[in-house]
Structures are given as structure tokens and as C-alpha cells.
Amino acid sequence: MTMTMPVRRLAATLLSATALSLAAAPVLAETVKLTLLGVGDAYAFAEEDGRGGFARLNAVAKAERATNPNTLYLFDGDMLSPSLLSGFDKGQNTIDLTNLVPFDLAVPGNHEFDFGPENFFEKMKASKYPWAAINITNADGSPIEGLGGVMVKEVGGLKVALIPVAQDTTPEVASSGDLKFLPTVDTAVAAAKQARDDGADIVVGVVQTDMTNDRKLIASHAFDVILSGDDHSYATAYDGVTVYVETSMDARFLSPVDLMVEIGQDDDGKRTIDWVPAFRFIDTATVTPDPETQAMVDEFQKKLDESLNVEIGTTEVPLDSRRNVVRAEESAMGNVIADAMRAATGADIGFTNGGGIRADRTYDAGTVLTRRDILTELPFGNVTVVTELPGSQILAALENGVSQVEKGAGRFPQVSGMSFAFDASAPAGSRVSEVMVGDQPLDPNKVYKVATNDYMLGGGDGYAALGGGNVIINTGNGNLMANDVIDYIAQSGKVTTGVEGRIKKLGAN
């Protein structure tokens, strides 16, 4: 396969070639193989269908380091949540497992803050590797203790600058408290350029952000390599200047990148750096799990099985929690969850966000449900809360819920005790109609009792409209949503409510 010479090096190479034709003696160069292994969005401690999981990930990381000592093992965000076990230990299992084969650097993703900033700080202290993000500060702009910035590593005679950048939308989608998040792209590009000016040979972005921002980072040509998480997909690209890897999820697929770096001098004695990339693809279904890690995984699994394999009831209707469903339309699983929240609190309305429903699966009628099923659906540890709000704010909350349905945003609402219609082709903010509470039209001036989750009540997923009311049940007094759902199903021993027209789509589909 023909490799393309990086554009920034091409002009220098051509000039060097011209100079060599006029010079009697060639310039000697040294070649260093630098391997970069990135991973992100690693939630599940165990494999799934023989692929992924920390035992296979650790095996790959050990093998890469053994093969090439000039290897950097980098994490680009999201491990503490969401997962079944994290619902119990707030992500400590992922710290224990990654401590067996520590990263050279880890960047916090938005899910590192699902249990609040204090939990992340605790987990950061428990890690045997450094965490860093240049765009997260305390509310007053001061640095966060223990959270690093740009890291420069000396690897095989190369000065490699690692630019760690978190997702600036974290306050909207996680419980990050009053931490301040600076713009992802602008902050990253400025830091990369500064690292280059400071003499870095190779500049690597370790980022947790979506593909829209990834494209902007690539287009800046400020980076040699970008390792990115967040999108749960696998991708590699190279435009002649910047290498890009989107690092999959749960370590299902890994792509170590080898840079064959030529270190030389030009005719004036100035240091030159030239490289070409080589991508490798690893399907972890082909990887033998690391024995030490597997032993820890097995112990975690045993503890989970003892408490989770408890049957709670049988569903008499098909249930659906697939990501594309719960974030775009009425879902039978969404109905069950919202019904349970309303039943547990006596509220008029049950209201939860589709993005908090996570199992991404279907259940046939006749399936026996267990505690494990519900905790897999609701892994974040959210609490059911109740507030009193006028109908006008409930309408505003619904408008927020459908404002980004075309993007598959997690804010899409699943509801109980009410129904509504929406038209995704209409402008955001004016999409909702036909809102009913029980058998009556929504009254903008009437105060309703709304059961929701603590994340949404705090403004998560853009739900500012749910704030400012009279809070009857707060986070400290509420039950775990998952427990409310488990109790709701166990009380009757069955699920009978399917999709029944609570949410109606209007316009072109």
C-alpha cells in the first residue's frame, strides 16, 4: 500500500532533496517506531458475545508494550458509567481493572461525572495513572487538584505532546456540579499549536467529543494524531497531515497506530521530523483474555449474579429499549419506567429522558424480567424526585425534549399520565401540540405534580424548564428509579402496558 507523506513535511522533504543534489555528503537519519493505542467508552467490565471487556483490552495493551517499548496507551473518556456494576460501585470496578495495566494518560468523559464531581475526584485519586484535561477548571477558573494538563513524554528520543481535552457539553448531559468547561475545539487547537511552538516533535490530541468537533480538529491541522471517543463507533482516517482514530466502545475493536518517525537534520543542522502512519485493526474476539484481569472480572461477575438474578415478573407485551426508539418515539419500556415513577409518588405526570434508558434491546412477550434487566436499563443511579410546576413549564419541557429528536438526543421524553403530539419538521421550540394530562387538555396555568429524575430536575439534557418549582421529594428523600421500577413490576408480577399512543408523530417521517 502506498503511504502519503504528511503535507507539512512534504515541502521540507522536496527542499532537502534539492539540497542533497547539490551537496556531496548525505544527511544521516534515525528511525523510531512510535505506537499509539487509544481506547474510550469502556463501560462493561465483561465481554459481550466473546468480544470486548477489560480482560481483552488489558491483554492487547500488555502485548503492545511488550512488542514496542515506545508505546503510549491512552484513554479518551467514559468508563465510570453507565454499566450494571457501576450502578452499585459508582465505577470503582473500572478503576480496579485499568489499574492492572495503567494508561499513560486518561481524559475524563462526560460519564465520569454521572455520579457527581466528588465521585470523579475520588476515582481519580484511586487511579494508578494520571488524569488530565486542559479545558476543565473549578468554577473560579482555578485548576482542579490532581487533574493535569498538557503532558510531554520523551519516547524513543521523540518529544511527544499529549493534548487532553474533555467534552464542553458535559454540564448539559452529566452531573458536573459547578465545574467550568472551556470550548473543546478552540482550547484544543490553541494548546496543540503552543505545544508545536514549544518544540514538540509529535502532537497527539486525546479527546472526548463528537464527530462534528472531530472534523474541526482534523481540519485545523494542528495535530499529528487525534484519538477520539464519545461516538461509540470505530473509524480511522488520514488526510496527509493528521491521523484520526475513533476508538469504538467497550474495547470491541482496537486500532493501534504505528508512526515510523524519521529523525534527521537539514543542511543547516536543524532537527527534522518526518513520519508515515500504519493503521492496524484488532477485533478483540480474536484476543485471549489477560488471566489476571479475567480473574478479577470473574469475581465481579459472581457478586453481581448473586444479587441480580432475582426474577421480578413476566412481561405480557413486547418491550423495546433500543437507542433509536427511546430517543425518538414512544417506547413500551419507557412507559413502564414512567408509570413506575408516577405510581411510586402519586404524581400527576411521570417524565423521564430516553437517554437514561440504556440496555438497547428488545424483550419478547413472555420474557421473565429480573433485577438485572432493570438495572441494565437504568444504570446511572438516578433518583425519582417530585416537583410542582405550572402547565406552561411542562409544555416548555416537552419542547426541549423533542428539540433535537433528529439528532437522536437523549433528552427525548418518555411519559406517563399524559400524551402529546410533535412535528419534527417544525422549528425547535414550536413542535409540540395536543398535550393532554389524563383526559383533559394541559392547562398552562394549572399546577401539576411531576415525577422526574434528579438529573433532569437539575437541568440535565437542557431541562431548565423543570426547575424553579416547589420540590416535594428531593434527591435526598427519593428512591432510586431502578428500585421504583423493580417494585412496580414485582407488585403485580407482570407487565401489561405496551405502546398505547402516548406520543404521536406528526408531519413527514
The tens place of each residue's pLDDT in the chain, 509 residues long, gives 333 334 344 333 433 443 444 443 445 589 999 999 999 999 889 998 999 999 999 999 999 999 999 999 999 999 998 887 887 899 999 999 999 999 999 999 999 998 899 999 999 999 999 999 999 999 999 999 999 999 999 999 999 999 999 999 999 878 899 999 999 999 999 999 999 999 999 999 999 999 999 999 999 999 999 999 998 899 999 999 999 999 999 999 999 999 999 999 998 889 999 999 999 999 999 999 999 999 999 999 998 888 788 999 999 999 999 999 999 999 999 999 999 999 999 999 999 999 999 999 999 999 999 999 999 999 888 999 999 999 999 999 999 999 999 999 999 999 999 999 999 999 999 999 999 999 999 999 999 999 999 999 999 999 999 999 999 998 877 888 998 999 999 999 999 999 999 999 998 65
Distance, in Å, from the CA atom of 47 to the CA atom of 51, rounded to the nearest integer, reads 5
Of 117, 254, 130, the residue nearest 174 (C-alpha)? 117
The residue out of 299, 322, 339 marking a domain boundary is: 299
Distance, in Å, from the CA atom of 128 to the CA atom of 125, rounded to the nearest integer, reads 8
Residues 453 and 378 in one domain: yes
Residues 243 and 314 in one domain: no
Q: What is the pLDDT of residue 28?
A: 59
Residues 375 and 289 in one domain: no
Distance, in Å, from the CA atom of 233 to the CA atom of 245, rounded to the nearest integer, reads 10
Residues 198 and 144 in one domain: yes
Are the beta carbons of 362 and 308 closer than 8 angstroms?
no
Q: Report the CATH number at residue 129.
A: 3.60.21.10
Pairing verdict, β 418-423 and 503-506: parallel
Judge whether 17 lies within some domain.
no
Residues 243 and 103 in one domain: yes
Residues paired with residue 154 on neighbouring β-strands, in sequence order = 159
Residues 65 and 201 in one domain: yes
Q: What is the pLDDT of residue 263?
A: 95
Judge whether 335 lies within some domain.
yes
Q: DSSP letter string over 356-411?
A: G-----EE-TTPEEEHHHHHHHSTT--BEEEEEEEHHHHHHHHHHHHTTGGGT-TT
The helix/strand/coil state of 209 is coil
Residues 340 and 455 in one domain: yes
The residue out of 279, 299, 319 marking a domain boundary is: 299
Are the beta carbons of 98 and 55 closer than 8 angstroms?
no
Residue type for position 245: V
The residue out of 242, 277, 299 marking a domain boundary is: 299
Judge whether 137 lies within some domain.
yes
Judge whether 352 lies within some domain.
yes
Residues 336 and 293 in one domain: no
Judge whether 57 lies within some domain.
yes
Helix, strand, coil content of the chain in percent (nearest 5): 35, 30, 40
* Overall domain count for the chain: 2
Cis, peptide link before residue 82, omega less than 30° from 0: yes
Judge whether 7 lies within some domain.
no
Judge whether 438 lies within some domain.
yes
Residues 288 and 337 in one domain: no
Residues 276 and 326 in one domain: no
Sheet holding 311-315, edge to edge: 368-370, 311-315, 494-495
394, burial (CB in 10 Å: exposed 0-12, middle 13-18, buried 19+): buried
Instruction: Give Cα separations from 160 to 35, 47, 147, 203, 380 (angstroms).
Output: 11, 33, 19, 6, 36
Q: Which domain holds residue 441?
A: 309-506
Residues 241 and 314 in one domain: no
Q: What is the pLDDT of residue 228?
A: 98
Q: Report the CATH number at residue 478.
A: 3.90.780.10
**Residue 321 CB-half CA count within 13 A:** 20
The predicted model scores a pTM of 0.76
Write the DSSP symbol of residue 507.
S
Are the beta carbons of 93 and 45 closer than 8 angstroms?
yes
Q: What is the distance of C-alpha 76 from the center of its chain?
A: 9
Q: What is the pLDDT of residue 478?
A: 83
Instruction: Give Cα separations from 44 to 91, 294, 327, 495, 497 (angstroms).
Output: 10, 13, 22, 27, 30
Judge whether 134 lies within some domain.
yes
Residues 279 and 359 in one domain: no
